[in-house]
Amino acid sequence: MNEKRLWLVFAIITATFWGVWGAFIEIPEKSGFPTTLGYVVWSITMIPCALFALNRINWKLETDKRSVFNGIVTGILGCGGQLLLFQALRHGPAYIVFPIVSLSPVTTIFLSLVFLKERANFIQWTGIGLSLIAMFLLANPQISPVKSEGIGWLILTFLVFGMWGVQMYMLKFSNNTMKAESIFFYTTLSSFLFIPIAIYMTDFTVSINWGFRGPWLTAMIQILNAIGALCLMYALRFGKAIVVVPLTGLAPVITVILSLIIYGLMPGEILLAGLICATISITLLSA
């Protein structure tokens, strides 16, 4: 396949795997396995993907200071943002948290334009704009009154927004100077730094499901997340961040479709508008 189109293949794989992951990730939590421990399981599922990646480069991990620094910082931004998101959702309404976080690609696009000098044509810009609208509409369309505690959750939400946007930029920036496989290894390593924090955040006073629908089902679901993350590294190696990030950010399209099928529901007006925007966006971005 033409190398210029490889970014599209990897971006589609990422969006698909993340979309399926999003549709099923709530099952373990509803079965009594907390999301904080789900983070621990996710970190473990990153290991086989990291080993696969290193094997592809004959175990020649880049260990110079710049590579280690870029890789660790990229991992910390992503993994740290995940834990901050858990905390924000504990005290703030999901219908505000998720739409804000879903627009983190805005930060990536801005940084890529300014520092990487990436450019897009009119059709791609139209697709990027529609993708951002779709992300907002698909993030959490069910608006209901939820009591929030102070404004600390809102600060955390914007921190996640910024951290994930910068992380995607760092992924592309690092891909210009080091191997994607090395970046993924250091991201995996960074994920383990936050395991003690995730365990500390876990409420062990409540019953935890340690059966199949707990850690084992979580692992089967989280491996999709890990594989998607690895494919994202390759998508950013071959493609522009201002195009790749909005396209992979449309994973909720698959999540919504699967959820509608699983629960036998019809999409409401907001969801339908989001799906239409996403469909047009995907067509324009992949043209």
Per-residue pLDDT of the chain (287 residues; tens, 9 = 90+): 566 689 999 999 999 999 999 889 889 988 999 999 999 999 999 999 999 999 999 999 999 999 999 999 999 999 999 899 888 877 777 667 877 888 899 999 999 999 999 988 899 899 999 999 988 888 755 544 445 566 788 899 899 999 999 999 999 999 988 999 999 999 999 999 999 999 999 999 999 999 999 999 999 999 999 999 999 999 999 999 999 999 998 888 888 888 888 877 777 788 888 889 988 998 888 76
**Rounded distance, CA 197 to CA 207, Å?**
20
- Provide the token pair at 207: 């019953």
pLDDT at position 142 is: 53
**Rounded distance, CA 39 to CA 37, Å?**
5
Number of domains, the chain:
1
Domain extent, residue 32, equals 3-285
pLDDT at position 145 is: 47
- Provide the token pair at 15: 């969006």
Q: Which of 154, 151, 21 is nearest to 99 (CA)?
A: 154
Contacts of 97 (CB under 8 A, 6+ apart): 85, 88, 89, 140, 153, 157
Three-state secondary-structure class, residue 263: helix
Inter-residue contact 23 to 255 (CB < 8 Å) = yes
pTM to 2 decimals?
Answer: 0.89
pLDDT at position 287 is: 63
Location of structure tokens 């790749």: 244
**Rounded distance, CA 256 to CA 278, Å?**
11
**Rounded distance, CA 153 to CA 163, Å?**
15
Q: Give me the half-sphere count of Cα atoms (radius 13 Å) on the Cβ side of residue 52.
A: 10
CA 136, 191, 77, 194 torsion-angle sign: positive
**Rounded distance, CA 136 to CA 241, Å?**
19
**Rounded distance, CA 78 to CA 22, Å?**
17
Give the count of beta carbons closer than 10 Å to the beta carbon of residue 123.
12
Inter-residue contact 159 to 114 (CB < 8 Å) = no
Angle at 175 between CA 63 and CA 252, to 5 degrees: 125
Angle at 149 between CA 148 and CA 151, to 5 degrees: 95
